[in-house]
Amino acid sequence: MGTAETLLKRLSDEDGCSIKSYSHGDTTALTNIAIELDIVNIINRYIPINQKGQKPIRDGLTVGGTFLLGAIGRACRPTSKMGWYNWCERTSLEYCLKSSFKALDSQHFWDQMDFLPLESIPKIEEDWLKGLPSFDMKVWILLENTIYAVEFAYP
């Protein structure tokens, strides 16, 4: 290992080594829970098909995928849609999901939200709640604002 001086030199930029830190635990935990609960597919099930007979995809993401990324961002570091990517690039999301999210600006999120019919939200909530027993949780209260519906649960 050497002296503190040698270690400091080895870890500094003087020898060409640079260190970058990424947030990983919270984004990975939330992504894994969303996969277990099948959140993306549940949301996508209620997105109408377009004139070509397909579900809308923008910047390589389905509507459900976009909602999930927005929710993960909101849970980990509440920020505006415009500031979402600034937060994302400090996480391991792009690496873990093997995708680039550089194109996800505020307009991307708003356009994807326009595809979700409001009357689908209660159906999505019902489908999502069906998966909660596997987590041995009880629903406590539902809070809703005009952008997100958030379930709060306790063990």
CA 87/CA 77 separation, integer angstroms: 7
Please determine, for residue 11, whether its predicted confidence score (pLDDT) is greater than 90.
no
CA 43/CA 128 separation, integer angstroms: 9
Question: Residue 66 in contact with residue 109, Cβ under 8 Å?
Answer: yes
pTM of the model: 0.76
Question: Residue 26 in contact with residue 34, Cβ under 8 Å?
Answer: no
Mean pLDDT score of the chain, rounded to an integer?
84
Tens of pLDDT, residues 88-104: 999 999 999 999 999 99
Question: Residue 96 in contact with residue 68, Cβ under 8 Å?
Answer: no
> For the chain, what are the domain ranges?
22-116
Please state, as a whole number, how many other Cβ atoms lie within 10 Å of the Cβ of residue 113.
Answer: 15
